[in-house]
Amino acid sequence: MRKEWTLFFTFLKIGAFTFGGGYAMIALLENEFVERKKWIKKDDFLNMVAIAESTPGPVAINSATYIGYKIAGLFGAAAATVAVCIPSFTVIFCISLFFDQFLSLTWVSRAFRGIQVCVIYLISSAGLKMLKTIERNAFNTVILLSVIAAMLACTVFAVSFSSVYYILICGTAGLAIFFLKKLRKGNGN
């Protein structure tokens, strides 16, 4: 089977069984493409997560597009992106047909509560896996602790601060360190 079709069916499966959005999908993507199929290296996967989070649009779609393009070019990107969208579109379309009746069902609300627990686990699991693979150096430690401290402070003091700002600040700091290292290497240090 061509890689485009394999990508299509893999992302269709992941899209159909991922509850909680793109962040919950990250653990499944890592398992499928880094550990099982070994189509992507761990470093490339971490780069994909950073790019998917920092570019506009849903993380799930950005991830699918990135992985599809990395594995099979333009057609792979198209196949993965369409496939990851089909299950969500189908479910939302069906729900929209009878939305009011759907919400009034008690078993639906209980199912959603159960799914929330699973989503928390998947997001936490993906975050911990990524945390374990981050290079341990002073810069990464300072960034990680700064972000945790800022998030806790915003939570404790009930300050509304978008996670987009965290991403922009960390991305800017990362670029600054990258260029400083390049300048040092250029000076023979």
Residue-wise pLDDT tens digits, 138-153: 878 887 888 788 878 8
Write down the pLDDT at residue 3: 87
- The predicted-structure confidence for 1-19, as pLDDT tens digits, reads as follows 688 899 999 999 988 888 7
Determine the Cα–Cα distance for residues 81 and 104; give it in Å rounded to an integer: 33
Question: How large is the average pLDDT for residues 161-173?
Answer: 78
CA atoms within 13 A on the CB side of 49: 24
Report the C-alpha gap between 31 and 40 in whole angstroms. Answer: 11
Which residue, among 44, 45, 40, 10, has the nearest Cα to 26 in the 3D structure? 45
| Strand positions, DSSP E, 16-146 | none
8 Å CB contact between 62 and 51: yes
HSE-CB for 118 with a 13 A CA cutoff = 13
- The model's pTM is 0.57
pLDDT at 171: 81
